[in-house]
Amino acid sequence: MSIDPTVPEAPDVAPGGRPRVRSGNPISFTEEEMGQIRFGADGLVPAVIQDATDGCVLMLGYMDSEALRRTLGTGRTWFWSRSRREYWCKGETSGDRQWVRSVHYDCDGDTLLVVVDQDGRGACHTGERSCFYRSFGGQAGADAGGADAAGAGSGGE
């Protein structure tokens, strides 16, 4: 098979013009760092998922120690489903994968911030880019990034 050099290849990009990332970015960690995370009585810690490109808050999920280790080890976002009582990797069924760029924990160690490159339609199971597409006060459609950063919710697949 030959490639015609006069026909440019279509760029492999995600929505919004961001380059599509195809492999995870494992993040090294120490047991001392893991010890800083304060999991709740249910064994979970909330994880805010943020788009690396524009800072948009995409979703909120929950991780236990195993889901956090899977996230750090694979470079993909893993969560514990409170309703299904099982692990899930974002995008495995929808194709709307998240590729981890960095993971942070707050000053109390009781909340995670996971910065990702988002593939596909977006993070929300409804088809919206962000799970935070609704707001109080008639501001429908406000983006959860930048000055319109929104409150809490739950992402799911």
Q: Is 68 helix (H, G, I), strand (E, B) or coil?
A: helix
Q: Is 117 helix (H, G, I), strand (E, B) or coil?
A: strand
In a domain, 61, yes or no: yes
In a domain, 90, yes or no: yes
In a domain, 35, yes or no: yes
In a domain, 60, yes or no: yes
In a domain, 18, yes or no: no
Q: Is 31 helix (H, G, I), strand (E, B) or coil?
A: helix
In a domain, 58, yes or no: yes
Q: Please state the φ and ψ torsions of residue 61, each to the nearest 5 degrees.
A: -130, 180
pLDDT in tens, 10-52: 345 555 665 554 678 899 999 999 999 999 999 999 999 999 9
Tell me the CATH number at 52.
3.10.20.810
CA gap 155, 46 in Å, rounded? 11
In a domain, 51, yes or no: yes
Q: Is 21 helix (H, G, I), strand (E, B) or coil?
A: coil
> Which tokens sit at 12?
């492999």
Identity of residue 113: L
Q: How many domains does the chain have?
A: 1
> Which tokens sit at 97?
């994968």
DSSP assignment of 33-51: HHHT----TTS-EEEEEEE
pTM of the model: 0.77
Domain that holds residue 117: 25-124
pLDDT in tens, 113-131: 999 999 999 999 999 999 9
Residue with tokens 């910065």: 115
In a domain, 157, yes or no: no
Residue 143 pLDDT > 90, yes or no?
Answer: no
